[in-house]
A and B are shown apart, each in its own frame.
Chain A
């Protein structure tokens, strides 16, 4: 569904991505992990064409993303820090995004309801707590039933109950056959949720494996241990 071919990007002298090749498909829930500054966010921003790649191409459903912006209809994006204009209300934001997407049919309101957005529609964005803003971002990402979901640190800042609701939603959508890309530093919460791991290091894909393989090859039972073991063995080499 998403093909990434030989993407590289540098900001000035700093080269952030050095030739990334990836193939991501429907029904996968992929965790994009790696140390700070390894290029995760830049890669996501390139997929969303917020950042222009120096080299290489991204193809989504057979279409080059630089050709047409229509591909963004297929993507729901939840940013790490959602900040919205101070005086807009939650209701206005949702209305605005609906008018951009030009659709009011086939909306997925399950998160909207479970986060109790109905009672918050008149609240101004400037008065909201960080967690509530995250909820708004999550609601917007899932609302239009997009086949691809890109979630940047989705549960950071959410209270445990809301984080659990979001996680269940992510699992449900994965089972619906959607492609989900998650970046997270909390490896422990990725268990049960993700089916593949992409580990990035210094602008390159260090490894791309399914969780099953990863666990059996390292003889561990959860993701964080497996990753740690791999990292340690690399250091020893």
Chain B
């Protein structure tokens, strides 16, 4: 198959009917495999890895903290891509997928913040510190909040899709800008942010600093979270499509009846 034909095959899923049929076929696979990976990863991580020599058993919250933080950022990236697709090609499924993903993203952000606080309390002696990473996640949370609120506030679905898409694009630029601004700001405040940095583990840091004993179950959990995210987005997008259809049917009935 040529590349153009493959690209065409991808756009076929812009048809809601085709999307629903396919997503319903593949959804069970994603549910089951994500459950499998999560159960294996979490059980492996919680019961079959040794305690860290410094952190004790608190290190095990890493199996929830890192994957959720990863998905919180990737979810925004996915929304950015689908928003662009909506603005350029006007596929409704794309806009609805962005809408469906936002609540998942905000929950992932909250999980990352909450597990981080629970982890930080015994390790740093504080639930919260204005560390650059923590602060940028809080700002990401605010972005999700504004995005969802804008979706909810506008009645006309196409207008809402357009406006939230533009907000997502502008917000992405400002989110990146905030990330660097926050880095700058905290270095300006505390000269020695190195203590916090060792504790604030993110995806990129763990691969270098976590030993293999912790890394493989962590990888399993990350795969589980990715699969879970895909399953949730497919499921919620299907729900959004059906809700849109019900609305259209009700409107038609009002006009006819």
Partners in one complex: no
| A positions within 8 Å CB-CB of B | none
Chain B contact residues, CB within 8 Å of chain A: none
